[in-house]
C-alpha cells in the first residue's frame, strides 16, 4: 500500500525542480544544436570558461536569471557573427510544459499531495508524463533514491485513484 510520508511533499518539490532544470538545459541544447553552436562557443560568448555550459548541462546546475539572459544574448551574438537571422526565443527555452511543472510546484506550497492527486484533479496524466524525465534523471544520478521512491509512490497512487475513480 502506497502512503504519503511526512517528507514526501518536499521530495516531490525537489523532483519537479530538477525536472525543470533538466527541461531548460535540454531546450537550450536543442536551440544550440539547431544553430550548430557548440557548448564551448556558448560558454565563451557568455564570458565563462570553455566548459561552463557543458558542466551546467551535465550537472543540472541552477542558473541565475541574469545568466540565462546572458546565455540568450550569447546565442544571438554567435548567430549574428555567423550572418544568420535566427534569434532565440525565450519560449523555446521556457515552454508550456515547464510552465505547467512550475504551476504544480507552486500548488504544492498550498495543497497536500493527497489533494493534488484527488480523482477530479486531472493530475494523473501530468505525473505519468514526467516518467521520461524521472527515468533520465535516475540514469545520471540526477535525483536521489528518496526522490525516485516518492515519484514511484505518486505513480502508484495515481493508478489506484484511476481504478477507484
Alpha-carbon distance of 56 to 62, in angstroms, equals 8
| pLDDT at residue 122 is higher than 60 | yes
Which of 58-62, 67-71, 86-90, 102-106 is the least confident region? 86-90
Q: How many domains does the chain contain in total?
A: 1
The overall longest dimension of the chain from CA atoms, in Å, is 60
Q: Give mean pLDDT, residues 121-139.
A: 92
Output the CA–CA distances (angstroms, integers) from residue 136 to 5, 18, 58, 106, 156, in the order listed. Answer: 24, 11, 12, 23, 19
Looking at residue 86, its pLDDT comes to: 79
Looking at residue 165, its pLDDT comes to: 52
Looking at residue 138, its pLDDT comes to: 96
| pLDDT at residue 73 is higher than 60 | yes
| pLDDT at residue 18 is higher than 50 | yes
pTM for this prediction: 0.90
- Residue 24 belongs to domain spanning: 1-165
For residue 101, give the nearest of 139, 129, 65 by alpha carbon.
129
Q: Give mean pLDDT, residues 58-69.
A: 92
Residue 39 cell numbers, joined: 557548448
Amino acid at each position: 500500500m502506497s502512503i504519503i510520508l511526512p517528507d514526501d511533499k518536499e521530495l516531490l518539490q525537489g523532483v519537479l525542480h530538477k525536472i525543470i532544470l533538466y527541461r531548460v538545459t535540454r531546450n537550450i541544447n536543442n536551440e544550440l544544436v539547431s544553430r550548430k553552436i557548440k557548448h564551448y562557443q556558448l560558454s565563451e560568448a557568455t564570458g565563462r570558461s570553455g566548459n561552463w555550459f557543458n558542466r551546467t548541462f551535465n550537472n543540472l546546475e541552477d542558473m541565475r536569471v541574469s545568466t540565462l539572459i546572458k546565455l540568450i544574448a550569447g546565442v544571438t551574438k554567435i548567430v549574428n557573427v555567423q550572418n544568420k537571422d535566427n534569434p532565440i526565443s525565450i519560449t523555446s527555452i521556457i515552454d508550456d510544459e515547464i510552465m505547467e511543472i512550475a504551476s504544480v510546484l507552486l500548488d504544492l506550497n498550498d495543497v497536500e499531495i493527497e489533494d493534488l492527486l484527488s480523482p477530479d484533479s486531472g493530475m494523473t496524466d501530468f505525473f505519468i508524463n514526467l516518467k521520461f524525465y524521472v527515468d533520465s534523471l535516475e540514469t545520471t544520478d540526477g535525483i536521489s533514491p528518496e526522490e525516485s521512491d516518492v515519484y514511484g509512490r505518486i505513480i502508484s497512487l495515481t493508478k489506484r485513484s484511476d481504478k477507484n475513480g
